[in-house]
Chain A
Amino acid sequence: MLKDIGYSLAVKQHKNRIYSYSFFMLGNKMDADDVTQEVLIRLWQNMGNFNLTAMRAWVMKTTHNLCLDYLRRRKTAQQRGVDLDEETADLIPAEDGSIYPDIELQRKLLKEKLNIAINNLPESLKSVFVLYEINGLRYKDISEILSLPINSVKVYLFRARKKLQDELRQLVYEKAY
């Protein structure tokens, strides 16, 4: 009974974080669904094996490892297409209509490009970037989840931001020519 209550709370607390991370790492809804399910089932199986403070790190570490498994399998597949799929547009909620349609369109385009650019980041940089910028975790937490020294996390984050900017420039360039 206590296990069930604890589990419900844990699911409520972590489900969006798991889903969001898987979604950005894998770039499609279907794989994010699968990874989230797998992590939450493993969480149930392991309830009681860790305290609440260790849970977040465990959850994100498990999510990260499963995402890597998916990416490893996908890597060898011949160009299945790693761009964010069409479902992305449906999944990311639209913002309210703006009174400045041009500005709104610009923003929308930037967001689209941003999603593609994030998805194009190498997985080691993407994981740090998503954990820090999207999931809002601290260097220390990321260091624990990815088993990296804190300094490496900082360097990876710097490289990710830089690479993201390069990707965006590239996308702007492709659009222009």
Chain B
Amino acid sequence: MKKHININEKYFRNDPEHFSSENFDREEKIISAAYGSADLFDKIKICIDSLFNSEVRAVYKEYKETAAAVKSLPKVECPDEVILKVHKSIEQLKSITAKHSITERLFSGKPAFASLAALAAVIGIIGFLIFRSPVIEQTYSQQEIETAEKQLRYSFERIGLVFKKTRSVIEEEVLPKQVGQPILKSINKLNDLLLGG
């Protein structure tokens, strides 16, 4: 153990009885100076103090070493695969919102357009009822099918997120607190549902 630890604790006792604002200010200034964030005047003052006061010198040196280590920590960079995943998710969202915006435009128009739309809908319904064949054969374009596939994927992913969230909430918060046997039973059931077991 380093010698100056005891000195430091004695010099800056941190319990309410011994902790004066004067000590706080002084300690704060030493630490700030060591980290290089004190203003110039304080820096000079601490440097001078450290020349004549071994306790100040020890504390200053100790913090300065840590500050240097903190500043030399290598930068943590975001991996490329994270960005690739983000772009993939955004492409999926784009395709979903593109379809949604068509319906939004339809139903959020001005009253006149809304009336026209309603009229068109009525004509459509009547036309549909008159001309519909007994067997309903709906045809979809390739694009609609592909969009539907993307929407299905997105839907199941969202369901997956709920399951994931439920798992963590139950595993980490509900079970330890309440030891919820019925919940555990339910989760096992859900496990069976998901895993086909």
Contact = CB atoms under 8 A, between A and B. Distances in A.
- Asked if A and B form a direct contact in the complex, defined as CB atoms under 8 angstroms apart, the reply is yes
Nearest to A164: B66
A141 B146 CA distance: 45
Interface stretch (B42-50, B82-90, B107-115, B122-130): B82-90
A162 B9 CA distance: 11
Main secondary structure of the interface of A (DSSP, over half): helix
A15 B31 contact: no
Interface string B19-62: 00000000110011001000000000000000000000000001
Contacts of B77: 16, 19-20
Contacts, number: 100
| Interface residue SS majority, chain B | helix
Contacts of B32: 158
A94 to B, nearest CB: 8
Contacts of A18: 78
A45 B66 contact: no
Contacts of A23: 76
Given A16-B78, A40-B86, A172 B70 contact: no
A176 B73 contact: no
Nearest to B24: A158
B138 to A, nearest CB: 32
| Most B C-beta atoms less than 10 A away, residue of A18, A37, A115 | A37
Contact of A20 (B35, B63, B70, B75): B75
Given A40-B86, A165-B62, A158 B75 contact: no
A12 to B, nearest CB: 9
Contacts of A164: 66, 70
Shortest 7 CB-CB contacts between residues of A and residues of B: A19-B78, A15-B78, A77-B172, A20-B76, A40-B86, A76-B172, A93-B74
